[in-house]
Amino acid sequence: MHSSPPRRLRRTLLALGAGIALTAGALATAGPAAAAPGGNGGGPAYGAQAPKVVDTADGKLRGEAVDRAYRVFEGIPFAAPPVGDLRFRPPAPVEPWRGVRDATQPGSPCPQVSSLTNPTSSTNEDCLYLNVTTPAGLDAARSDLPVMVWIHGGSWRTGSGDRYDASKLALEGDVVVVTVNYRLGPFGFLAQDDLSAAVGSAGSGSAGLLDQQAALRWVERNIEAFGGDERNVTIFGESAGASSVCAQLASPTARGLFDKAIAQSYSCTTEYATLDEAAAVGDTVAAAVGCTGDGPAVVDCLEAAPVPSLLGAWPAGGGSFVVGGSSLPVQPADAIASGTWNRVPVVHGNLQDENTLFTPLSIPSAQLPRFLDPANHDAILAERFGAAAPAVAQRYPLAEYGSPLRVLAAVASDTGSALSTCQHVDAHETLEETTPVWAYQFRDQGADPLLEFSGPPFGFPQALYPEGAQHAGELPYLFPGLFGDGLTAEQQQLATTMVRYWTTFAATGDPNGRGVPTWHRYADPSDVQGLDVASAGGVGPVDVAADANCAFWTALAGA
């Protein structure tokens, strides 16, 4: 008998937490990774005499050797440039090339706007590129390495695959890693009735999802040339990338394209807009760029609209996957609950303090001093929780958190969004009924944050807003140099353990192996593997439902 909250609790918790529930799918779009060091240890080093040129189905590629230990191939096209009348459409085949194509520089990021958390700006639609990092060196004619395909996060609006240095995973885990771009914002997720009529059964708003599938089909055709086994492919992603993993698990058109899945910081039972709902938003975007009326003229207008205009018209809350077309006909939650999904072994988890990143960003800056002042604690909780405020205050003592703002962040991290712990427990429960699931929670309170609130431009006193294990804090443990000041020796030990778990799972479908603490397959919330530095408890089972007060929120929702 499971002790976690009942399924579908997410809807009541979201209603109860109105005002603290935050837009999930989030950011994790730090600047470009530092140059990869050669030889991170742990795995074999291949390729001292290996050629730099490989043959693919579309033509020859020349990559780059890094310290004679591994090879990186960047800027590999996996679909035709989605420009002109291919804008918004399913990805088309790439045009083969003659001669040897240089693959030592990444391709362009997809169109996006820079922001506080995203340093990249791009208006280049020719962006459907991927990158391959391989330790195999090709000298031994290997084609048996597990393959891991990384889908980046960024609120479905920002990011690119080249930001993630996959050398640690490749070398220590002896795997081939592929990082991919996909269309973002309106170019990947704009739904509109006239566009749907033009696109056909896939439905509009499906381009981003189908781009990811096109990349997986490229892997199926070509990864053997890089030492990888096309029969052993794991998709993994964080935030909006984890949302992508969840959507691919539910997509009929992704069937057979991968064998395992890792979803980091997004609940696989979160629901998306339907085609009708998304099309209503699409109509407002079309009107904003001057594409009015109906029929093919609207499609022509949208296909010709300037990139900056479409980016500017895209709602601030963004958009994500659209349910209703042939590529995603039903909500992932419903597909999983009914067993009609791509059932593969799954690693699924989150961070202990996910929403310390988003809570300050959801409050107007002029009001933040009020939310940081402990004297306003009771009033703010009364505004947010009404009659339940005293019970919430008792469960989340001000003395433990420092400020009302940090209390609200703790509540939001525990429940009320696609990132929250109770939402993840709900998803673990649903997933494990039909497939092997290993659940985790990253808990290192000293991890470098994606966005630092104790420095400019915020300057929050750390005592009033400790950020803890904030959203995206685990990424530098897998992808070195992503952001922050680097890892301490103790954090490096945790990173080594995490890489072994992730890559062993990719190889075998089970994260357990030599040299790492036992990770129990999920059966109830006490089986969640806590990932922390040794001085703070180390790596081992934790009851996240108890830590996140899930029973308390269940009772409160039913009161």
Q: Which two tokens stand for residue 526?
A: 């006490």
What is the pLDDT, as a whole number, of residue 374?
98
What's the structural domain count of the chain?
A: 2
Q: Is residue 375 part of a domain?
A: yes
What is the pLDDT, as a whole number, of residue 217?
98
Which of 208, 238, 268 delimits the end of a domain? Answer: 238
Q: Is 471 a catalytic residue?
A: yes
Which of 238, 260, 278 delimits the end of a domain? Answer: 238
What is the pLDDT, as a whole number, of residue 309?
98
DSSP structural state of residue 149: E
Q: Is residue 264 part of a domain?
A: no
What is the pLDDT, as a whole number, of residue 457?
86
Q: Which of 4, 204, 239, 327 is catalytic?
A: 239
Q: Is residue 243 part of a domain?
A: no
Q: How many CB atoms lie within 10 A of CB 104?
A: 13
Q: Is 172 a catalytic residue?
A: no
Q: Is residue 338 part of a domain?
A: no
Q: Is 354 a catalytic residue?
A: yes
User: Which residues of the chain carry a pLDDT beneath 70?
Assistant: 1-51, 136-141, 559
- Which of 258, 113, 290, 252 has its CA nearest to residue 180? 258
pLDDT in tens, 308-359: 999 999 998 778 999 999 999 999 999 999 999 999 999 999 999 999 999 9
Which of 186, 211, 238 delimits the end of a domain? Answer: 238
At 355, which CATH number?
A: 3.40.50.1820
CA triple 549-553-557, angle to 5 deg = 175
Amino acid at 506: A
141: left (phi over 0), alpha (psi -120 to 50) or beta: left
Q: Which of 354, 429, 432, 474 is catalytic?
A: 354
pLDDT in tens, 127-168: 999 999 998 655 545 789 999 999 999 999 999 999 999 999
What is the pLDDT, as a whole number, of residue 316?
84
Q: Is residue 372 part of a domain?
A: yes
Q: Which two tokens stand for residue 382?
A: 């009364």
Range of the domain at 67: 53-238
Contact 4, 426 (CB under 8 A): yes
Residues 222 and 355 placed together within one structural domain of the fold: no
Q: Is residue 310 part of a domain?
A: no
